[in-house]
């Protein structure tokens, strides 16, 4: 995702342009904006309070959906596959709740956290529509059209950090004669792996096998290596930065990861 | 009878014609002449010495309550705005506004309700990477600004809304966002998802990870706090 | 208690039916929001079918006769104007917010990130000669100050930012300025920036001055044009 932007106006920002963006065409699975959006839609189909949804059923529906699209050979963005991997794992935990002595993960807890995430997203959706439907200046209500202010030439100059940074960036661009790099998505970059891990693991306090993220959902024949390598690399990097904890109980044993928590014993961070 | 106060400020019959309260006239003129909200402090400074600004504002607000133009409290100041029910008449004045994409709308809402918020937190809530440029656009429109930094590892930049946002959406302050109290009460404005189930062991639950974090959220971005509070 | 909103609050001549109310409200809103005087013909077209426009205008004019704002007929049509006796209040309106020119933004950025920095160094980084006025402006605004002198031949004056700068940008200290990398990572900036801007980069070419300057001129805001020219 590091390709440089050669035009300032992004094509997919405004409503009418959404469909034209090639990036969105990949991400946009049947009009969904990301895996959580898809999950939310599936959850709504259960027609119960989001707090009471069956996460197990939801996981199954999601996996089914992903399977269907995979057989259609649609290119699915990494986010969807990471979620699929995660849900496959969650499903297994929910079906076979037998925590090992090392692994205190509780399936129900993860499921509940997922439900809360869905509620939170739904709440923001509602908030967004409340906001957009307010009486808006210049659309529903109007200010004085002909202000009668005799402006004295006393100016308060106004600049934002953004102006400052943009100016700085502009300088660099001018002298660097910037080269446009267009990266293809054939590789799962370290950066992507990192972001995906952060996003998915952001709220998981339990020791979770790393392989969850490198499951078959993620690894198609073409990108197997890059996913394995980047995923592993990214987890090491995150561990080094203290954003993730790693644990491996025996040589070649499953690599477990979790979010560091102040209350937890700091897990060994040997990779 | 609640109108009593105004009745004596503005004479009922044209014939009686006692001088219209001069302070109210002045206030009316200043606010009417400005297209942008004027803060109470500034109004106070421009009114004659000894005027009770907030009382006058209250009277003026009431006076215009049923008119085609209303006095509204917006973005921590006061401004006259056309009445919302007359929107249909105002088609000629509408500035063509392109609609924000759904992603941008959602992002704006998240920034507004969760501010100050980092980009990673926004993405966590949405569960999807943010298309480059969406944040850019919101900043360019002038509704979102960089607030400061989170006192956390990496000291990430935080984002929030600004006065132009409040003005556009006819809000006086961030705490007036629709439904924000209910959302806060239901815990859905927490940036960390708290496990709902209770644990048997008394290990610190995961969401306490951010004890310091939470304090940060409350106290750090002082400017935003000021906005919300004052 | 038959206090009919405006009938009560806004006194008008006897005999007028309350049915006029909604039309008066409409007229009020249209005239308020319009950016120029509106002709009677246009008003007639925008009011509900069957409205007697000139009668309504007369009523509205009378209604506002003693107010801080009056309805007046000017050459092109009708408009609200603040009452002439309150003109003195209009002069002291808000200070105008102005944006820095691109050149000034760039210079401020360089000073902020490289302080203490000399004028020659600024020019080297920008790759163009700097108009004296831009630096003066930044000092006048109160964001840039003279820090001291460089221990180097000629002992050139160095510049840096001051407390007003930090305050304006809501920063605690200079080191809280967002980093380029960080902003690039969040998609706000393109990532092609960093290496050129290191200070040890002494051989940054300052040639091509002419061309770049010309480009600059194109982007300069008019206000700075004036500054720079003078």
Contact C136, C74 (CB under 8 A): no
Chains A, C: CB contacts within 8 A come to 135
Between chains, do B149 and C30 touch, taking CB under 8 Å as contact? no
Contacts of B99 in chain A (CB under 8 A): 14-16
Q: What is the pLDDT of residues B36-59, one digit of tens each?
A: 899 999 899 888 888 889 999 999
Alpha-carbon gap, residue B221 to B145, rounded angstroms? 12
Alpha-carbon gap, residue C116 to A259, rounded angstroms? 41
Task: Please give the span between the terminal C-alpha atoms of chain C, in angstroms, as a whole number.
Answer: 67
The minimum CA-CA distance between C166 and chain A, rounded to whole Å, is: 10
Nearest 5°: the CA angle B152, B157, B159 is: 120
pLDDT reported for residue B102: 86
Contacts of B64 in chain A (CB under 8 A): none
Single out the residue of A244, A236, A237, A241 nearest to residue A266, CA to CA. A244
Task: Please give the span between the terminal C-alpha atoms of chain A, in angstroms, as a whole number.
Answer: 27
pLDDT reported for residue A10: 39
Count of C-beta atoms within a 10 Å radius of residue A203: 21
Nearest 5°: the CA angle A88, A89, A94 is: 95
pLDDT reported for residue A191: 76
Burial of C212 (0-12, 13-18, 19+ CB in 10 A): middle
Is residue B109 over pLDDT 90?
Answer: yes
Contacts of A261 in chain B (CB under 8 A): 204, 206, 208-209
Between chains, do B112 and A126 touch, taking CB under 8 Å as contact? no
pLDDT reported for residue A123: 92
**CA-to-CA dists, residue B173 to A63, A138, A195, B79, B135, angstroms:** 43, 19, 33, 14, 21
Between chains, do C108 and A146 touch, taking CB under 8 Å as contact? no
Is residue B19 over pLDDT 80?
Answer: no
Contact C81, C69 (CB under 8 A): yes
DSSP at A96: S
Contacts of B113 in chain A (CB under 8 A): 124, 127
The minimum CA-CA distance between C189 and chain B, rounded to whole Å, is: 9
Contacts of B174 in chain A (CB under 8 A): none
Query: Which residues of chain A have a pLDDT value below 50?
Result: 1-12, 15-28, 151, 153, 177-181, 183, 263-271
Alpha-carbon gap, residue C119 to A251, rounded angstroms? 60
Single out the residue of C180, C208, C137 nearest to residue A170, CA to CA. C180
3-state class (DSSP) for residue A248: strand
Residue C98 C-alpha from the chain's centroid: 4
* Chain A (76-95) residues lying within 8 Å, Cβ to Cβ, of chain B: 79, 83
Question: Residue B218's pLDDT band (boundaries 50, 70, 90)?
Answer: very low
Contacts of A148 in chain C (CB under 8 A): 81-82, 90
Is residue B164 over pLDDT 60?
Answer: yes
Is residue B140 over pLDDT 80?
Answer: yes
Is residue B225 over pLDDT 60?
Answer: no
pLDDT reported for residue A23: 37
Nearest CA in chain B to C81: B33
Chains A, B: CB contacts within 8 A come to 239
Beta strands in A132-218 (DSSP E): 155-158, 208-209
Sign of the torsion formed by the C-alpha atoms of B44, B47, B52 and B56: negative
3-state class (DSSP) for residue A71: helix
Q: Is B219 in the C-facing interface, judged by CB distances under 8 Å?
A: no
Q: Is A163 in the B-facing interface, judged by CB distances under 8 Å?
A: no
The per-residue DSSP string of chain B comes to -TTHHHHHHS-SSTTT-PPP-HHHHHHHHHHHH-SS-B-HHHHHHHS-TT--HHHHHHHHHHHTTTSSEEEEEETTEEEEEE-GGGGGGGGGGPPP-PPBPHHHHHHHHHHHHH-SEEHHHHHHHHTSPPPTTHHHHHHHHTSEEEEEE-SSTT--EEEEE-HHHHHHTT-SSGGGSTTHHHHHHTTTT-SSPPP-SPPSS-SPPGGGGGHHHHHHHHHT-HHHHHHHH-
Question: Residue B160's pLDDT band (boundaries 50, 70, 90)?
Answer: very high
Query: In this structure, what token pair is assigned to residue A75?
Result: 């290119």
Single out the residue of A115, A118, A127 nearest to residue B181, CA to CA. A127
Cis peptide before C116 (omega within 30 of 0): yes
Nearest CA in chain A to C80: A146
Q: Is A173 in the C-facing interface, judged by CB distances under 8 Å?
A: yes
pLDDT reported for residue C113: 85
* Chain C (114-173) residues lying within 8 Å, Cβ to Cβ, of chain B: 170-171
pLDDT reported for residue B56: 93
Query: In this structure, what token pair is assigned to residue A67?
Result: 């399977």
pLDDT reported for residue A230: 79
Contact C133, C198 (CB under 8 A): no
Query: Would you give per-residue pLDDT tens digits along chain C (230 residues)?
Result: 333 333 334 444 444 444 678 899 999 999 999 988 999 999 998 888 888 899 999 999 999 998 999 999 888 799 999 998 888 887 655 556 678 888 888 889 889 888 888 888 888 888 777 777 788 888 888 889 888 888 888 888 899 998 888 888 877 778 778 776 666 565 555 444 433 343 333 333 333 333 333 323 223 233 333 333 33
* Chain A (7-36) residues lying within 8 Å, Cβ to Cβ, of chain C: none
The minimum CA-CA distance between C157 and chain A, rounded to whole Å, is: 22
pLDDT reported for residue A265: 42
Residue B146 C-alpha from the chain's centroid: 17
Nearest CA in chain A to B95: A138
Neighbours of chain A (3+ CB pairs under 8 A): B, C
Q: What is the pLDDT of residues A185-198, one digit of tens each?
A: 556 777 777 777 77
Contacts of B137 in chain A (CB under 8 A): 10, 13
Q: Is A198 in the B-facing interface, judged by CB distances under 8 Å?
A: yes
Task: Please give the span between the terminal C-alpha atoms of chain B, in angstroms, as a whole number.
Answer: 32
Residue A263 C-alpha from the chain's centroid: 26
């Amino acid at each position: 995702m590091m390709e440089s932007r050669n035009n300032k106006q992004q094509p997919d920002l405004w409503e009418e342009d959404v469909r034209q963006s090639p990036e969105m065409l990949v991400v946009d699975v049947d009009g969904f904006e990301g895996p959580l959006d898809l999950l939310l839609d599936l959850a709504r189909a259960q027609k119960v309070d989001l707090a009471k949804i069956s996460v197990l059923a939801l996981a199954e529906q999601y996996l089914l959906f992903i399977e269907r699209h995979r057989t259609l050979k649609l290119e699915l963005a990494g986010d969807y596959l990471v979620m699929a991997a995660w849900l496959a794992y969650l499903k297994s935990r929910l079906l076979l709740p037998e925590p090992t002595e090392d692994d205190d993960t509780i399936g129900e807890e993860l499921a509940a956290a997922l439900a809360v995430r869905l509620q939170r997203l739904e709440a923001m959706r509602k908030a967004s529509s409340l906001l957009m439907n307010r009486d808006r200046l210049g659309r529903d209500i109007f200010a004085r059209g002909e202000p009668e202010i005799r402006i004295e030439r006393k100016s308060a100059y106004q600049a934002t950090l953004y102006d400052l940074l943009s100016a700085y960036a502009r300088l660099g661009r001018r002298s660097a004669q910037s080269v446009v790099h267009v990266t293809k998505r054939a590789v799962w970059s370290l950066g992507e792996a990192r972001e995906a891990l952060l996003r998915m693991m952001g709220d998981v306090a339990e020791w979770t096998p790393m392989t969850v993220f490198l499951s078959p959902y993620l690894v198609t024949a073409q990108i197997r290596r890059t996913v394995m390598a980047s995923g592993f690399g990214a987890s090491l990097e995150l561990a080094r930065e203290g954003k993730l904890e790693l644990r491996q109980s025996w040589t070649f044993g499953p690599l477990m990861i979790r979010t560091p928590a102040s209350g937890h014993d700091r897990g060994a961070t040997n990779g | 009878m609640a109108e009593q106060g105004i009745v004596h400020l503005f004479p009922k019959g044209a014939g009686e014609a006692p001088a219209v309260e001069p302070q109210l006239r002045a206030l009316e003129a200043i606010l009417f002449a400005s297209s942008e909200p004027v803060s109470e402090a500034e109004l106070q400074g421009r009114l004659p010495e000894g005027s009770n600004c907030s009382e006058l504002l209250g009277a003026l607000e009431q006076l215009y309550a049923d008119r085609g133009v209303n006095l509204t409290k917006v973005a921590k100041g006061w401004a006259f705005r056309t009445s919302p029910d007359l929107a249909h008449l105002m088609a000629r004045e509408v500035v063509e506004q392109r609609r924000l994409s759904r992603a941008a709308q959602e992002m704006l809402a998240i920034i507004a309700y969760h501010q100050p918020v980092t980009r990673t937190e926004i993405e966590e809530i949405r569960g999807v990477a943010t298309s480059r440029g969406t944040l850019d656009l919101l900043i360019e429109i002038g509704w979102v600004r960089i607030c400061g930094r989170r006192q956390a590892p990496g000291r990430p930049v935080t984002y929030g809304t600004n006065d132009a946002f409040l003005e556009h959406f006819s809000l006086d302050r961030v705490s007036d966002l629709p439904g924000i109290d209910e959302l806060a009460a239901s815990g859905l404005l927490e940036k960390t998802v708290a496990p709902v189930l209770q644990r048997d062991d008394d290990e610190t639950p995961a969401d306490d990870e951010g004890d310091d974090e939470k304090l940060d959220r409350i106290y750090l971005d002082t400017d935003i706090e000021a906005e919300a509070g004052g």
